[in-house]
Chain A
Amino acid sequence: MKRMNNATTEPWRVGVLFSQTGHMSVIEETQLRGTLLAIDEINCAGGVNGRELMPIIYDPASDNTLFRLYAKKLMTEDDISSIFGCYTSSSRKVVLPIVERLNGLLWYPTLYEGFEYSPNVIYTGSAPNQNGLALCEYLVSNLGRRFYFIGSDYIYPRETNRIMRELLRGAEVIGESYVSLRAQRKDFLPIIRDIQRTRPDVIFSTVVGDSTVHLYQSYADAGFDPKTLPIASLTTTEAEIRAMGFDVGEGHITAASYFQNIDSASNASFVSRFKRRFGSDEPTNMCVEAAYFQVHFFARALAMTNSMETNQLRPVVLGSEFEAPQGKVAINASCSHADLWSCIGRANRAGQFDIVARSKAAVAADPYLTCSGRNAHFL
């Protein structure tokens, strides 16, 4: 009986795992903010069925060992079933066996390399058919066919480059280099020299975290002009542009489901709420937005099930829709990935992305590229 009485007032406890320190904190901290903004909004509106959401937040400090430890702690000591978290694929991969075995639900708000389907994950970032495909088509038709790949050395860049090679048929990959996730400016110098020597039409980067800043800054120092030879990326957001300097970022290209510059009433309101909470010079980005809207998906499902049990929550989440800042999105019931918009943005002097191409609607997630053709016809 004690449990029944408590059930009416006790908060709904959820886990939050984003790095606030270490080499991934530039971007993961923005995901933490997106998560907290949504939780605040829900709590200000009275919580879910009269009970507030209470985040249990740990800082995994960009260390996969800590991701693993905290995921276990959340599920076995804090008795939590839904965890919002993870940016890198390697951190997702270490959390995955834990949530799968203990039947938790990991809400993963990050673009990734696809080729995964876990019944214990809701994927709310882009799969390759939603960002890489659009980027390939744009680059080949606007910049040329000779590509140079630079990536951080871990799962996501290597897998993404394998997929990009496949999507870029007819184009030529004239170089492929990897640097450590903790790469400093000097580590990019040999690559910069290689680019000067090979003269590609476009550079495709899957460098993430702090080293993104070092890459773009060494590129600027070497005197390259992004207007004629830009770095194209799926991961460089407004947050990284701000960290590297607006002048350094100007002219470079990113494909994403969301940019702060998207022109819609729901986005304008989202951006202004974010700035009010975190400061007027804090930009939003695709990772903030996914982290934000996935909490709303969760809360809506929770309102219906009134239970945190994964077995009850997940079927209600699958197939549900939400008017996100990027536009209307849905959780595709066939693969538990979100159907998201495809956008190509080019960074401007104000640190924002001018949107140069955009899909007409949300693109159905196809994480295994089972039926995505070679062309992103929607652009």
Chain B
Amino acid sequence: MSKVEVPAKPGSASLAEFEIVVAVAPESGADQVVRDLQRARAKVRRLWPMPDKLPSDADVLVVEFSDRLTDRLPWMPGESRSAVVVVIGPNRAPDPARLCETTPEAVIYMPAQTETIAGVVALARSQFDYTKRLRDRIERLDENLRTIRNVERAKAILISARGMNDEAAYKFLRTQAMDRRTTVNAIAAAIIDSFELLG
């Protein structure tokens, strides 16, 4: 089978169809960045001068580094919605602390070698996706732990307040959830809340 030029590989090394915002100064090499990304068939949106707030709907933000870049990012640290690639212009050396608090997935020092930019941007997006999958997984695990805890607490309430046994308490929660077309967790949480409200 013939190898294709830009394979749509797992982890998506391909930038095809990716929406990428480029907010880079012309003197830092914005033209080269845009050209490289367009060659990789990304959809590039160019923003300059640097806006006060960067857009939050792109797949990747490729942005010129500045000391107050965190203020221009449209999210709080730890809640990013796009991969961020920071571009550092010729003869500049950012303060490491400022660079870290921007939390970029990758850094490009200009001038960059020809055709190296698309690879860095694809890597940044792959890192971002992986972190997001892990965060989703952790969120799901937290939710499961909360459910288990709530069901056990609600059951204890039913056992002491209604004199039910363990089995009957479980059955009550399940039946209520089914009748009300909601989750067992929601029923359990409601029982705990009303019990605490009534004291």
| Chain A residues proximal to chain B, CB less than 8 Å | 2-3, 6, 10, 75, 79-81, 100-104, 117-120, 307-311, 335, 368-371, 373-375, 377
Question: Which residues of chain B in 55-113 are interfacial with respect to chain A, using CB atoms and an 8 Å cutoff?
Answer: none
- Is B167's beta carbon under 8 Å from chain A? yes
Main secondary structure of the interface of B (DSSP, over half): helix
Would you give the shortest CB distance from A165 to chain B, in whole angstroms? 16
Residue in B closest to A115 when the chains form the complex, CB atoms: B144
A3 to B5, CA, bound (A): 7
Partner of A119, one of B7, B8, B136, B185: B136
Which one of A101, A103, A120 lies within 8 Å of B12 (CB-CB)? A103
B137 at the interface (CB under 8 A from A): yes
Q: Give the residue name and chain of the A residue nearest to B9 (CB).
A: A79
Q: Are B4 and A103 in contact (CB under 8 A)?
A: no
Q: Inter-chain contact count A-B, CB under 8 Å? A: 80
Once A370-B151, A374-B167 are accepted as A-B contacts, the answer to whether A117 and B11 lie under 8 Å apart by CB is no
Q: Could you tell me the distance in whole angstroms from the C-beta of A155 to the nearest C-beta in chain B?
A: 18
- Interface pairs (15), CB distance under 8 Å: A2-B5, A81-B9, A100-B133, A101-B11, A102-B11, A103-B10, A103-B11, A117-B137, A370-B147, A370-B184, A371-B151, A371-B174, A374-B166, A374-B167, A375-B167
B53 at the interface (CB under 8 A from A): no
| A3-B4, A100-B133, A119-B137 known; A371 vs B177 contact (CB < 8 Å) | yes
Known: A309-B12, A371-B151. A120 touches B133 (CB 8 A): yes
Question: What CA separation (Å) do A378 and B52 show in the bound complex?
Answer: 60
Contact A119 B133 (CB under 8 A): yes
CB contact list, B147-199 vs A, under 8 A: 147-148, 151, 166-167, 170-171, 173-174, 177, 183-185
Size of the B side of the interface (Cβ < 8 Å), in residues, is 34
CB within 8 Å for A370 and B10 given contacts A103-B133, A117-B141, A119-B133: no
Contacts A103-B11, A103-B133: A371 and B173 contacting too (C-beta < 8 A)? Answer: yes
A80 adjacent to B10 (CB under 8 Å): yes
Known A118-B137, A371-B173, A373-B174; judge A308-B8 contact (CB<8 A).
yes
Q: Does B114 contact A (CB under 8 A)?
A: no
Q: Tell me which of B9, B134, B183, B184 has the highest count of chain A C-beta atoms within 10 A of its own C-beta.
A: B9
Docked-complex contact A75 and B10, CB < 8 angstroms:
yes
Residue of A nearest to B155 (CB): A373
**Main secondary structure on chain A at its contact with chain B?**
loop
Find B1's partner among A10, A120, A308 (CB 8 Å cutoff).
Answer: A10
A307-B144 in contact (CB<8A): no
Nearest CB of chain A from residue B155's CB, rounded to whole Å: 10
- Report the Cα distance A81→B11, complex, angstroms: 9
**A2-B5, A3-B5, A79-B7 known; A368-B137 Cβ under 8 A:** no
A103 contacts B7, C-beta separation under 8 Å: no
A286 to B198 Cα, complex, angstroms: 50
**A371 near B8 (CB under 8 angstroms)?**
no
Smallest CB–CB gap between A129 and chain B, Å?
12
Cβ contacts under 8 Å, A101 to chain B: 11, 130
Query: A83's closest neighbor in chain B, by CB?
Result: B10
Query: Does A373 contact B1, Cβ atoms closer than 8 Å?
Result: no
Report Cα–Cα, A101/B127, bound state, in Å. 9
Task: Give chain B residues whose Cβ lies under 8 Å from the Cβ of A370.
Answer: 144, 147-148, 151, 184-185
0/1 interface trace, chain B 32-60, chain A, CB 8 Å (1 if under): 00000000000000000000000000000
Q: Are A371 and B137 in contact (CB under 8 A)?
A: no
CB distance from B185 to the nearest CB of A (A): 7
Bound-state Cα–Cα, A2 to B171, Å: 61
- The residue in B10, B136, B170, B171 that gathers the most chain A C-beta atoms within 10 A of its C-beta is B10
Q: A371-B151, A371-B184, A375-B171 are in contact. Are A117 and B10 (CB under 8 A)?
A: no
Report whether B4 and A373 are in contact in the complex, using a CB–CB cutoff of 8 Å.
Answer: no
Which listed residue (A310, A335, A377) contacts B10, Cβ 8 A?
A310
Nearest residue in A to B150 (C-beta to C-beta)? A370
Q: Which residues of A contact B144 (CB under 8 A)?
A: 117, 368, 370
Q: Which of B8, B148, B151, B166 has the most CB of A within 10 A?
A: B8
